[in-house]
Amino acid sequence: MNKENTYSIKWMHCASCASIIERILWKIDGVEYASVNYGAEKIKIIFDELKINPIDLSKKIEPLGYSLIEKHDIYTSSVHEMGMSENEHDSHFGVNQSKTEKLAEIAEMKSKVASAIPLAIFSIFVMSWDMLAQFKIVSAMPYVWSDFFHHILPAFATYVLFVVGKPYLLGIYRFLRYGKANMDTLIGMGTMAAYLYSLMIAALEIPLRPYLNVEQGYYDVTIVVITFIALGKYLEAKSKLKTGDAIEKLLNLQAKTALVVRDGREIEIPINQVVHGEIIVVKPAGKIPVDGILVDGSSFVDESMITGEPMPVKKKSGDSIVAGTINTSGAFTFKATKVGSETLLAQIIKMVEEAQGSKAPIQALADKISSVFVPIVLVLAVLALDAWLLIGTQYLGFSQALSYGLVSFVGILVIACPCALGLATPTAIIVGVGKGAREGILVKDAATLEKLHKVNTIVVDKTGTVTRGKPELVSINNLSDKSETEIISVLAGLENKSEHPIAHAIAFSAKERNIDLPAVADFEAIKGKGVKGRIDGIEYYAGNTKLLDDLQIHFDTDSITKETIEGKTPVLLATKKELLGIFMVADAIKPEAVEAVKNLHKLGIKMVMLTGDNKNTAHYIADQVGIDEVVAEVMPADKLAKITELQNKGHVVAMAGDGVNDAPALAQADVGIAMATGTDVAIESAGITLLHGDISKLVKAVRLSKFTMRGIKQNLFWAFIYNIVGIPLASGLFFPIFGWLLSPVFAGFAMAMSSVSVVGNSLRLKAKNL
């Protein structure tokens, strides 16, 4: 039986590590799929439980210095397995341990770097003095100082290489024993070569003096290179920890306890003990512990942490509420309907974590290069050394050629950086997906985010996306001597007795305006025409134009016809003798729709509106909003055909729908976007889900994808540039023409900063305004 799971990977320090782990696991009998995400430090594996288990999988990679961490998975655990004590708030989701370990690892890295930095500064001081003295800028170093440095630098280099550089020496050992090389191997071989060469000319100074420049040691290179790279790794680890803080913030939304009513008493219990149907009390400023339905009381609930909407939402009996949101004012009770891994918050965390761990198609090239990068660099380093010895000796002599060859050998091994390539895509995806989650934009996977930035056509449904999705009173033409409030009161009093949706819209409008409804006597529904009733002794009629024809009351049919073409429904209020007012009810355009469509146009996106309404109404609304193309009077099945037609014309299409009725069209579109109007939403239904979704969030989603992809392309550019420029420079390719030869010290600095700059560039996305 196949099982799919995601594990954290410990001690994975470079993109080549990720490639090695993937290749090893793919070869194991029973493993159907393995995909490592270096940026997230996780691996997704599908394996046959009858043939292999996670412990055995971990043992397969442990000889190479890696291990799998099987985290407790909230998404597949039973509710009772999700328990947490007072001190286990975060760890019940299974992330606390790995973060604690990561912080401990970073603390260890910090202490090693702190011990190496003074030694590196000392070495740079000595190196700089020697360099400046060669150009006669300063006088030569006094013999006493020079002799002291000659004896102290080997001690410093030994400490830095064997203590701070221990991971790199282990890289050499694993390469020799198992034939697997990674970035640690390259750095270890380069710095060890510099160290051993320096040790050799120091120990054999007299016999080697006729053949080599025994005054030119490279202890300083060993010290400074390892310090720079260790510093870079430390800064990279700290930055990477920040890229994934969206998950931690989502976890912190979860309440620790719930106040439940049992046997008539309020009892505070851990949330893992809450069961379906439990009545839970929420007090002002309290966090809602699980999903449910409000049964008593009312309040305003802050859902901003889930939906991204800043304004608290009014909640009354029968409304749904979700875990992680905050009650701002009144107290209320609700019935638990979803607990543990069923809650929307748990689903969001799962979706964000899976999306952050997924790979975008643009990453494929970087992965391919990373997989062969280390062997190629090893070959290039050896070739560069051979070239210096074979060709350089003819022009420079053996001693100088060997010195330059060693510098090139070390420089190539040190500057080569598969890490920047490996981090370019995943760090940007992690930050982008996390930022989207905070805005109520849930991305299913990295591929969807990449596709969205290519979208040039967005198809939307009219009802609920461009319009509010329910009838409401949009205009009043008062023809009587009564005030507007009075005629609304009369009409709403009559309509309040009716079951018609338009009647509900009028009654609701009166309540919104705080207009009291009068008592109605002798109420009667007139089939197909309207209603009538007596208020304060006067008989009133409310209905359509047919009702006024029956009463033989004259009215302006032209103006009513004009507004009817625009999709409005007239409701006429009259007495037996005169028309008092004309009320227009319609599915009103959302106020944010016009601005949203304008912003989408600025992003180069064509807007297409599909609707089942008649053409006149559809075109009127499209003209008001600025929609480019309208397809009216369509059935749900026709939407799928329209998406296909647009794709056949070369458009990259995103479909925004409700995620249920539009399921076929969402599946056909290049990107399916579920516009969730509430918090009760199946977030697996589309590639992107917009919580509390309105059309303005479409703009944010598109911008998010464009910002993220721009960041990825910038990262890949700089990662390639570091290597394309750095490796030839370090090899001495430009030495015959310009006399340029890159010092291993600068190579180490460039290599260290390449990864830091890539992660730093990804973190810039956090500051972007969507």
Active-site positions read 461
Is residue 193 within 8 A of residue 743, CB to CB? The reply is no
CA atoms in the 13 A half-sphere facing the CB of 316:
1
3-state secondary structure string across 686-727: CCEEECCCCHHHHHHHHHHHHHHHHHHHHHHHHHHHHHHHHH
Amino acid at 441: I
In which residue are the tokens 């205009």 written? 475
Coil, strand or helix at 256 = coil
Coil, strand or helix at 454 = coil
Report residue 334: phi and psi, to 5°.
-145, 160
Instruction: Give the tokens for residue 736.
Output: 């015959």
In which residue are the tokens 């004590």 written? 85
In which residue are the tokens 């297409």 written? 608
How deeply is 331 buried, as exposed, middle or buried, from its count of CB atoms within 10 A (0-12, 13-18, 19+)?
middle
* Residues in CB range of 583: below 8 A, 6 or more apart: 473, 475, 476, 477, 491, 506, 570, 571, 572, 573
Amino acid at 414: V
Instruction: Give the tokens for residue 694.
Output: 């309105």
What are all long-range contacts of 685-688, with beta carbons under 8 Å and residues at least 24 apart?
685/659, 685/660, 686/444, 686/657, 686/659, 687/443, 687/444, 687/445, 687/448, 687/451, 687/452, 688/441, 688/442, 688/443, 688/444, 688/448, 688/452
Is residue 610 within 8 A of residue 639, CB to CB? The reply is yes
Residue 594 per-residue DSSP state = H
Q: Are strands 257-262 and 42-48 parallel, antiparallel or unpaired?
A: unpaired
Q: Are strands 313-315 and 332-338 parallel, antiparallel or unpaired?
A: unpaired
